[in-house]
Structure 1
């Protein structure tokens, strides 16, 4: 199970839609929280269908901005509790996992209205008995080191956000990978980097999922970078099995060389010993050569996704330059 969150600034471009499909294909999340959809329910429904999800709850955009959506893989695993233009609160009941409360949160962009979000968190906290996780674009930082470039972040906003976390006994999860989730003015003297997207969890949630990991997915077609929450990242070892000889190895010159070298090295050994030694060395090479295909394919797909995003950005910048001229 994993949960993905992304402020993707709408479905206005085909590469944003394709990038989202690629993220789902690579990370296979059970739940996705989308912020600033800039869309109505019917358009988000097309996204749900395209990625093969069954469940969806959408809060339509207001005018030209906003809009949030929660999508989940299997329709019977999520139960809606409450919602507003800034949040979707659900109970998650996945088979084999501890039941917990999940709140997808979109922090108020208007700083003058930020207190309303803090009061919303307090209100939700007073109602929640289950282990609790808040995930999304908080539109706030917890310390000055969460921001680089531009003016200092207002201290009253930092203190207000910190007070909410203290009152509600919420922990800010460590973000693995790139430290920032929002960028503006990339490559210029006005380049600003901020960590706005995060996961906040209750003590009971962190005790249920002690090995949980929050990762920055590094690339994006938006100015926000997607984040991925994996409640349990323990790898379960596969059972051992005998390696079978693959006919494809016969086409590899290295395989022939390994057999020849192994056989000649055991010149005075018995036939059985030669076979055993040769098999061990070919098996070790073969395991490295053809093993972990899924992992290798996954790495290549991720690299391809990064290249696609970089190419999209380059094209977008070129278009902007042409428009200015």
Structure 2
């Protein structure tokens, strides 16, 4: 099952509707949440049918702003709970996994009301004991790295939003694809869609666990940035503080790895360019830049060495390819492609493997 969330900035715009049709065609979502529809529920019902969705629920826009809508296919069985100008609470019902809540959320865009958004998230977390996921447009950000531009987002706003997330027992989900989901200046919508894909139905997928990378210590700014963030969480209790800290370092590490790869490529280009020159200054710079490249290669080796969980080779051996291959091999062996049942036959379908595992543990704990 896959869920799509998009701030469409007005479905009265024919271009936005065409983009939505293309998203449905290419992403094939089972469920769509749309914010800032700027249209009535009647328009949403018409659009729902034309897109091939069966059920819909909408919160009408007020004046020239707002409007929320959800659409789903028969593959999704759900109940609509509470709703407002800023949220639609959806309970997802499925036989193969426990029931859970998908909170479709649109944060108040006015900075004067931002604290109301934080308190509203806390309230939404308390109205049900079901596991929940909140998706949509918060009109807010957790970290400075979530924004790229000349004007920095105020620290007190990020701190307040982080406190609301921790109080609500939420953890940020890893984002793959583009790093930024909002870009100023587009015509029909300045937001990219966000796709949420359920992977807990696949036994071969492992849940995210925070892992500290030794190679982070090679970045000079790491300690200062981590200390600064830790100090900003001084008002939190220890466990929420550790959860928020691990989330921050995980995001920092993803950015670092991408920057590191770019840095390594650029350093190779510099060394290769200097290698073709014969003047005295270029030769001197060649050896200096080559030393920098060697240092980066040592950092790369350290990264793959930790991931491979192989420690019998000494630091300094140029075996990055070996470590990379070893880490990839470990990832492949962690994939469950089939299971043997009591009769000796193998099952390969996900639902059949779910049944085999469930029956096995029910028998074990039943006895």
Interval containing the TM-score (normalised by the shorter chain): 0.5 to 0.7
Query: Could you report, residue by residue, the CA deviation over 1:156-183 in whole angstroms, capped at 9, with x for unpaired residues?
Result: 2101100011111100111101100111
Q: Who is 1:100 aligned against?
A: 100
Cα-Cα RMSD: 2.1
1:264-275 counterparts in 2 under 5 A? none
Q: Is the 8 A contact 1:68 1:87 kept in 2?
A: yes
In the alignment, is the contact (CA less than 8 A) between 2:68 and 2:87 conserved in 1?
A: yes
What SS does structure 1 have at the residue aligned with 2:58?
A: strand
Distance 1:19 1:154 in 2: 33
Distance 1:127 1:3 in 2: 23
Indicate the residue corresponding to 1:12 in structure 2: 12
Measured against aligned partners, the alpha-carbon deviations of 1:255-278 in whole angstroms (never above 9, x if no partner) come to xxxxxxxxxxxxxxxxxxxxxxxx
Cα gap change, 1:179/1:99 in structure 2, threshold over 3 Å: closer, same or farther?
A: same
What is aligned with 1:22?
22
Structure 1 residue 225 corresponds to structure 2 residue 192: yes
The within-5 A match list for 1:1-325 is 1-74=1-74, 77-185=77-185, 221-232=188-199
Q: Does the CA contact (< 8 Å) of 2:30 and 2:75 recur in 1?
A: no
C-alpha contact (below 8 Å) 1:7/1:34 kept by paired residues: yes
SS in 2 for 1:80: strand
Q: Deviations over 1:53-100 (max 9, x none)?
A: 111111101100111111111297111110110000011113433311
CA distance in 2, matches of 1:87, 1:58: 10
SS at match of 2:171: strand
Residue 23 of structure 1: how far off its partner (Å): 1.1
- Structure 2 regions of 5+ residues with no counterpart? 205-367
Residues 51 and 160 of structure 1: CA distance in aligned 2, closer, same or farther (over 3 Å): same
Task: Tell whether the 8 Å contact from 1:54 to 1:75 is kept in structure 2 after alignment.
Answer: no
1:52 partner SS:
coil
What is the CA–CA distance in structure 1 between the aligned matches of 2:63 and 2:31, rounded to whole Å?
A: 26
Query: Residue 169 of structure 1: SS of its match in structure 2?
Result: coil
Larger RCO, structure (CA 8 Å, separation 6 or more): 1
What TM-score, normalized to structure 2? 0.53
SS in 2 for 1:184: coil
Q: Which has the higher helix share?
A: 2
* 5+ long unaligned stretches in structure 1: 187-219, 238-325
Normalised TM-score (structure 1): 0.59
Q: Secondary structure at the match of 2:63?
A: coil
The structural deviation recorded for 1:233 is 7.8
The aligned counterpart of 1:311 is none
1:87-121 CA distances to partner (integer Å, 9 max, x unpaired)? 00011113433311110000100011011111111
Q: Secondary structure at the match of 1:183?
A: coil
Higher strand share: 1
Residue 103 to residue 235, structure 1, CA distance change in 2 (3 Å): closer
Q: Is the 8 A contact 1:91 1:99 kept in 2?
A: yes
